[in-house]
């Protein structure tokens, strides 16, 4: 059963912040348990597989525009990005055969979480059934 938060701007902001910080948390907070649980499992798993495959979690470096764009895509993963950067995970091994696959998993997890956050935004505003 879905809890309707209506169009309360505070509730919309909380749903979006939760959805960004932990994939699926915004949907769980809104009462979309199945959707939230799916996102909560799949997106962190994708991110972790990317790190395991020696992918890079890019730092925000304004002196390198391409790296900055990649970092913004990674940053979409929210708390996963922050934890990986703080813990020193995702340094990436460019020489590893799996490096580009790892990058793809990490970037895709980040970009998908941006879409998940937008879906939580629409749901919290009452624009989705």
Tens-place pLDDT, residues 33-88: 999 999 999 999 999 999 999 999 999 999 999 999 999 999 999 999 999 999 99
pTM of the model: 0.89
Closest CA to 22 of 52, 49, 44: 44
Residues 6+ apart with CB under 8 A from 27: 19, 33, 35, 36, 39, 116, 119, 120, 123
Please give the structure tokens belonging to residue 39. 């996102």
Helix and strand totals (H; E) in the chain: 6, 0
Ordered by start, the domain boundaries in the chain are: 9-124
């Amino acid at each position: 059963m879905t809890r309707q938060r209506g169009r309360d701007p505070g509730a919309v902001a909380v749903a979006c912040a939760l959805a960004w910080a932990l994939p699926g948390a915004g949907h769980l907070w809104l009462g979309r348990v199945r959707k939230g649980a799916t996102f909560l499992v799949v997106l962190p798993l994708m991110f972790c597989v990317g790190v395991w495959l020696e992918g890079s979690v890019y730092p925000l470096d304004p002196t390198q525009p391409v790296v900055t764009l990649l970092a913004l895509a990674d940053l979409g993963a929210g708390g996963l990005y922050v934890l990986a950067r703080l813990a020193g995970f995702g340094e990436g091994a460019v020489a590893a055969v799996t490096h580009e696959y790892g990058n793809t998993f990490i970037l895709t997890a980040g970009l998908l979480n941006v879409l998940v956050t937008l879906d939580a935004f629409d749901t919290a505003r009452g624009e989705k059934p």
